[in-house]
Structure 1
Amino acid sequence: MADEDDKNVDRNASFSEFGWEFQTNAAIVLFIQRIEDASSVRVEGAHEDIEISLNDGTVVYAQAKARTGNEPGKGSTDRLDGALKTLADDIKQGNYRELIFVTNDDYPFGKSHDVSDLHGGGTLRFDELPDGVQNYIREKGAAHGIGDDAYPVMAVSVIGFYGDDRDTRHKHIRAAIQDLLSRLDLGRRGDVNDGLLRDQWGTMMQENAGTLDTDITLSKEDFVWPVIVMLCKVDTDDKDFERFDEEDVQDAVREYGSIINYHTQKFEFVTKVSTDFDRYLADNSGGRKEVRTRYIDERWGDYVDILGLGEIGDGETREIVAKLIMRKVLRREDVIKRVKDGVNLGN
């Protein structure tokens, strides 16, 4: 659990909750920064506050220490000492790739060892710190048995996280999420709400941390799934539905939503639509999006019986529902490929 500013904080529930929330949000930031090389993440791992397992079998260990008071730098030397003590134990595991001290304090080493490059957030490797700060850390580390070979993989990460206002407290975390979406070329897509994504990831992290078996981690695949779900939301305003009355389309979504969701998650149907579309795409010219729209418009009737839509509503309703299902299936296929490629999942 993330540390606090003084000895009484452990008895203060609000301070403890703040430290826990910082730890969870720090895990989100550290994980998405390394998502291409990572396989899973765990808050409250077997050895450390945050453990990020990498594809090569090594682990990123991060010790989270939160400033809860309104005076930056106060108590920071104690937090640093506590972090080094725990990281010294991580070194004994022998499987570490990175050893990180993560905090929300702009003065992680105290005001007498100020590093202005960390003000407002940022990450610096040990060898990027001023010589005086390096020596200070070495002195403290030596007291915990940390040898010279560990320092090259050490780093300090400052993540802005403070205040009662939710938007202020989360702005740096949301900025990191926006950066990830931009890297995936999803930054301009209005379907992805970075605030909602942060909330979902926070809940997932906390639920995983609540399991007693520390071998149970949050996989990268599970982590990115909420992004895919948000992106696969069907846009009923697009030109596939422009000749229909908007209210009729919305009524179809409300009334037949369970049918739509069922078939878009049914492996056999998804495979058939994807295979049929790939054949159509090979035989037709134009961009993928253009051909997809044409395919849905021309072939929706082929799936009415397969989907069991013969008895619902009228002909127009059947067409709307069939098109919604087809569009969601094909859009999900494109999105999954883009996201999986972007985070190096399954490659």
Structure 2
Amino acid sequence: MAEKEDITVNRNASFSEFGWEFQTNAAIVLFIRNIEDASSVRVEGAHEDIEITLYDGTVIYAQAKARAGNEPGKGSTDRLDGALKTMADDICQGDYRELVYVTNDDYPFGKSHDVTDLHGGGTLSFSELSDAVQDFIKEKARVHGIEGDALQAMSVSVIGFYGNDRDTRYKHVRAAIRDMLERLNLARHADVNDGSLRDQWGTMMRENAGTQNTEITVTKEDFVWPVIVMLCKVDSDDKSFEDYDEEDVQDIVREYESTVNYYTQKFEFVTKVSTDFDEFLANNTGKRSELRRRFIDAQWSSYTDILGLNEVSDGETRSIVAKLVMRKVLRRKDVIKMVKDGVNLGN
């Protein structure tokens, strides 16, 4: 008898872990969908599974319910009922813009109230559902005191998320990430990897959920920073170093990595390089990428003292390190502006 109970506990723990993972990945997708209007997201918030705060002070409350079994539609009405019960508390807060029921079940209202437009993923507002499905939800919602305008603020979002295979489980989440990158004109940028972003954002959301202080959120700045870091990557295959021996560049990059990282984060140095480049732009014409390279080639030696490179006897090493730091500073400046503009993040 005891052995049977242990098996049950393990199975329940597995289902619970799956539900947590779905919740954190749903937070990624919902935040991406609302990123232009959103300022922050909280997983396991004070009132709801996912809370997305918007610039106008209103909140998108989302209740995440995952199907862990292999039968779509099974238990879906119970999950809906549980979501509505929690949403009734959200309504009492008075600051909601939208109430989202998010699930990985293609039959969020059961097979007897099928919505084919949601199969494979999708989002529909309450008013976009058929009259029969609306009546079904109204009946369920009335039990929890939800009526009138609150119903019109509701929507259902289905996000595909199932299976042990990582590519299968995360394919819809990664598709949402690729869609965001497409909107930012970054989809074809080799340095940006949607799989790596999903992993980093998943860790970010899990850590947020595990923080007991519900005032601690993932800000939009926090969220987009991994994209900026990927775009600012500069290494030995950069065009700035094509005139140097590839192996020598790789060795220098490895040896001076800490120096490069330090100065590309140092405010005073970043400000000086950025100001000098803006002045160079004002006095020269051409494509920005070409002007950047011309500026680095012409001015790198003027920064060796600031970078502490005058003690380095090898001239090629001084040149590569100085150029690498300058390239990263200027690349980051351009990238930050591009990404900030794309997600409506003020300077």
Q: Give the TM-score normalised by the residue count of structure 1.
A: 0.96
Shift in Å at residue 9 of structure 1?
A: 8.0
Give the aligned partner of residue 309 of structure 2: 309
SS in 2 for 1:12: helix
Q: How does 1:276-291 map to 2 (within 5 A)?
A: 276-291=276-291
Count matched residues.
340
RMSD of aligned residue pairs (Cα, Å): 1.1
| Residues in 1 aligned to 2:72 and 2:11: alpha-carbon distance in whole angstroms | 22
Deviating runs (4+, > 6 A) in structure 1?
A: 8-11
2:110 pairs with 1:105? no
Shift in Å at residue 13 of structure 1?
A: 1.1
Shift in Å at residue 313 of structure 1?
A: 4.9
**Identity across the alignment (%):** 77
State which drifts further: 308-317 or 298-307. Answer: 308-317
Q: How does 1:89-104 map to 2 (within 5 A)?
A: 89-104=89-104
Change (3 A) 1:300 1:95: same
Give the aligned partner of residue 4 of structure 1: none
Q: Deviations over 1:6-39 (max 9, x none)?
A: xx78961111110000000000000010000000
AA in 2 matched with 1:47: H
AA in 1 matched with 2:251: D
Q: How does 1:3-152 map to 2 (within 5 A)?
A: 12-152=12-152
Are the aligned partners of 1:10 and 1:16 in contact in 2 as well (CA < 8 Å)?
no
Structure 2 unaligned residues grouped into runs of 5+: 1-7
Give the aligned partner of residue 227 of structure 1: 227
| Residues in 1 aligned to 2:9 and 2:330: alpha-carbon distance in whole angstroms | 52
Change (3 A) 1:234 1:313: farther
Are the aligned partners of 2:235 and 2:253 in contact in 1 as well (CA < 8 Å)?
no
| Residues in 1 aligned to 2:22 and 2:274: alpha-carbon distance in whole angstroms | 42
Are the aligned partners of 1:126 and 1:152 in contact in 2 as well (CA < 8 Å)?
yes
Give the aligned partner of residue 266 of structure 1: 266
Shift in Å at residue 238 of structure 1?
A: 3.0
Are the aligned partners of 1:9 and 1:15 in contact in 2 as well (CA < 8 Å)?
no
AA in 1 matched with 2:278: D
| Residues in 1 aligned to 2:239 and 2:226: alpha-carbon distance in whole angstroms | 26
Shift in Å at residue 312 of structure 1?
A: 2.4
SS in 2 for 1:155: strand
AA in 2 matched with 1:165: D
Give the aligned partner of residue 239 of structure 1: 239
AA in 2 matched with 1:190: A
Q: How does 1:291-330 map to 2 (within 5 A)?
A: 291-330=291-330
| Residues in 2 aligned to 1:28 and 1:313: alpha-carbon distance in whole angstroms | 49
Shift in Å at residue 251 of structure 1?
A: 0.6
Change (3 A) 1:153 1:317: same
| Residues in 2 aligned to 1:306 and 1:225: alpha-carbon distance in whole angstroms | 27
| Residues in 1 aligned to 2:152 and 2:296: alpha-carbon distance in whole angstroms | 55
| Residues in 1 aligned to 2:214 and 2:239: alpha-carbon distance in whole angstroms | 49
| Residues in 2 aligned to 1:191 and 1:16: alpha-carbon distance in whole angstroms | 35
